[in-house]
Structure 1
Amino acid sequence: MSNTITYLQRVEFGDCDPADIVWFPNFFRWIDAASRHFFIESGVPPWHETEQTLGLIGTPLVDTHARFVKTASYGDLLHIRVHVAEWRDKSFVQRYRIERENAAAEGGMDLIMECDEVRIFAARREDGVGIRAIPIPADIRALCS
């Protein structure tokens, strides 16, 4: 089982379209921030440090699947819950559940969005052009599990 980390995001007026609904690309920006937050909260050093020690430059996205359930608007406080749903050799599936506080809802939360992302652990290629997937370091996997 993996750690579950909650990243909080307050929706601002500028995050919304003219209908006062969050413009959908903002969800992906927040999910990306929640992904990095997950690793920091799990004890993984910043990527600039892992590049120096392990050659690991980060976890770029290679696939995503999202399901939007309800809208969100400015003033909402979103809870972005993130965990690793599946570990693979050089990639992993990170699962997100975005909820909004709602005292009237059963359980006090409204589901806004669910998303699965496949990410790789990446290093710079030896020729200096581009990146390549690398095996997931065992110590990072242990910190996040």
Structure 2
Amino acid sequence: MSKTVIYTQRVEFGDCDPAGIVWFPNFFRWIDAASRHFFIECGVPPWHQTAKDLGVIGTPLVDTHAKFMKTASYGDTLQIHTSVAEWRGKSFVQRYRVTRGDDAIMECDEVRIFAGRREDGSIFAWPVPEGIREACS
């Protein structure tokens, strides 16, 4: 089982639609930030450093599934609970649970890869680096 790291996000006025409800793409922006925060908290160096050391340039998203249970609005403070639900050969499933106190707001699973870049500029999936798997478990 993976570690769980909590990323806190305050909802600002500009994050909401005219009805005062968080515009849904903002959740995806916040969970993307929570993904990187998860790796930093687990001791994984910044991507520019892993690019030099391992050839890993980042963890791009290849699939996502989200479920929204309640709305959030201006002034709310959200907690984004982030973990890795499954490690695969060249990908992993990162799980997010967004809460406001005890209220579940959103759940999302994303499939991501550890990406490298070929000389021609194209991106490919590296096998999951064992050191990163260990640091995050």
Taking the TM superposition and a 5 Å limit, the aligned residue runs for 1:1-145 are 1-101=1-101, 109-125=102-118, 127-145=119-137
- Which letter maps to 1:89? G
Query: Normalised by the size of structure 1, how large is the TM-score?
Result: 0.93
Partner of 1:56, secondary structure, is coil
- Structure 2: give runs of 5+ residues left out of the alignment: none
Partner of 2:7, secondary structure, is strand
Query: Normalised by the size of structure 2, how large is the TM-score?
Result: 0.99
- Which letter maps to 2:60? P
CA distance in 1, matches of 2:65, 2:26: 15
Cα RMSD, aligned residues only: 0.6
How many pairs were matched up?
137
Aligned-residue sequence identity (percent) comes to: 74
Superposed displacement of residue 130, structure 1: 1.7
Greater gyration radius: 1
Structure 1 runs of 4+ with >4 Å offset: none
- Which letter maps to 2:85? A
CA distance in 2, matches of 1:57, 1:117: 18
